């Protein structure tokens, strides 16, 4: 049985990744802030696995969900304990939780936006990385995938705070790759351009007014999930550092 931890699993890319890994037979530990959505995703993953023709010899499959704030240290500690109580081995960890505030012009942003974005997008990744790395080092294998953005490798005239958070994520991952070299543990980022997720029309999470932006040509959450799963299933002799997904 392979076992995967996914943060930000209650919608969007995290939800799509959870469903795809369920199809691949991974048992899952899912976390996110929205408890009701998290339960919905977990139930969907259970249903997907039941529908897949794995045969009678398929390994046991479990989905566990637990809500929490990835940037709260106490929540992170609890979530890691819960995750490891179901399996001492983590084959894949997808650090996907993030928010998209701070997308306007730099001079129009606020300190409150800066603090909020850095707290979730950077601190949330950091808190899980420093707990996952020792666990995966001890087991001698595993894949960590961090959802970043093209904004983490290419800045633009707007979105300075969001860009800063993703550039910071790139730095954390680059340093972690150096520290994990030779350990058998791999880490990389998936860097999508615009993705058509519910965030775009959720003002409370920093999105736009409904219909204000044409997202018809954006990537889908399934597009990004496919790249995340590909990284998780790469061969023993490859070590993908980054997958960049551009819009057509």
Instruction: Kindly state the DSSP code that residue 60 receives in the 8-state scheme.
Output: P
Question: What average pLDDT does this structure show over 104-129?
Answer: 95
Q: 9 near 30, Cβ under 8 Å?
A: yes
| Residue 162 annotated among the catalytic residues of the structure | yes
pLDDT bucket at 196, cuts 50 / 70 / 90: confident
pTM for the whole structure: 0.92
Q: 50 near 133, Cβ under 8 Å?
A: no
pLDDT bucket at 201, cuts 50 / 70 / 90: low
Asked whether the predicted pLDDT for residue 58 surpasses 70, the reply is no
Token pair in block for residue 31: 């976390």
Place of tokens 């420093």: 130
Residues 3, 26, 126, 162: which is the catalytic one?
Answer: 162
Percentage of the chain modeled with pLDDT above 90: 80
According to the CATH classification, is domain 3-245 in 3.40.50.720?
yes
Asked whether the predicted pLDDT for residue 98 surpasses 80, the reply is yes
Domain ranges across the chain: 3-245
Q: What is the mean pLDDT of the chain?
A: 92
Tell me, rounded to whole angstroms, the distance of Cα 58 from its chain centroid. Answer: 26
Buried b or exposed e, range 178-200, using 16+ CB within 10 angstroms: eebeeeebbbbbbbbbbbbbebb
Q: Rounded to the nearest 5 degrees, what angle is found at the Cα of 114, between the Cα atoms of 200 and 12? A: 30
Q: Please write the tens of the pLDDT for every residue from 33-48.
A: 999 999 999 999 999 9
Question: What average pLDDT does this structure show over 200-228?
Answer: 74
Q: Please write the tens of the pLDDT for every residue from 131-189.
A: 999 999 999 999 999 999 999 999 988 899 999 999 999 999 999 999 999 999 999 99
């Amino acid at each position: 049985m392979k076992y995967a931890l996914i943060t930000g699993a209650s919608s969007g890319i995290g939800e799509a990744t959870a469903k795809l890994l369920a199809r691949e037979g991974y048992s899952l530990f899912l976390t996110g802030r929205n408890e009701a959505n998290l339960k919905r995703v977990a139930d969907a993953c259970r249903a997907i696995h039941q529908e897949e023709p794995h045969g009678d010899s398929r390994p046991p499959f479990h989905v566990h969900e637990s809500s929490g704030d990835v940037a709260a240290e106490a929540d992170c500690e609890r979530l890691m304990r819960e995750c490891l109580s179901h399996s001492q081995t983590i084959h894949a960890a997808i650090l996907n939780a993030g928010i998209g505030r701070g997308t306007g012009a730099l001079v129009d942003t606020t300190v409150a936006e800066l603090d909020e974005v850095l707290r979730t997008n950077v601190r949330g990744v950091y808190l899980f990385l420093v707990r996952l790395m020792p666990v995966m080092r001890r087991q001698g294998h595993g894949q960590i995938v961090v959802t970043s953005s093209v904004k983490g490798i290419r800045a633009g005239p707007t979105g300075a705070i969001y860009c800063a958070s993703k550039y910071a994520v790139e730095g954390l991952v680059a340093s972690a790759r150096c520290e994990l070299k030779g350990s058998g543990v791999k880490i990389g980022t998936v860097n999508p351009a615009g993705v058509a997720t519910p965030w775009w029309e959720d003002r409370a999470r920093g999105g736009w007014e409904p219909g204000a932006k044409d997202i018809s040509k954006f990537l889908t959450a399934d597009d990004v999930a496919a790249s995340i799963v590909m990284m998780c299933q790469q061969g023993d002799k490859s070590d993908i550092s980054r997958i960049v997904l551009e819009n057509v």
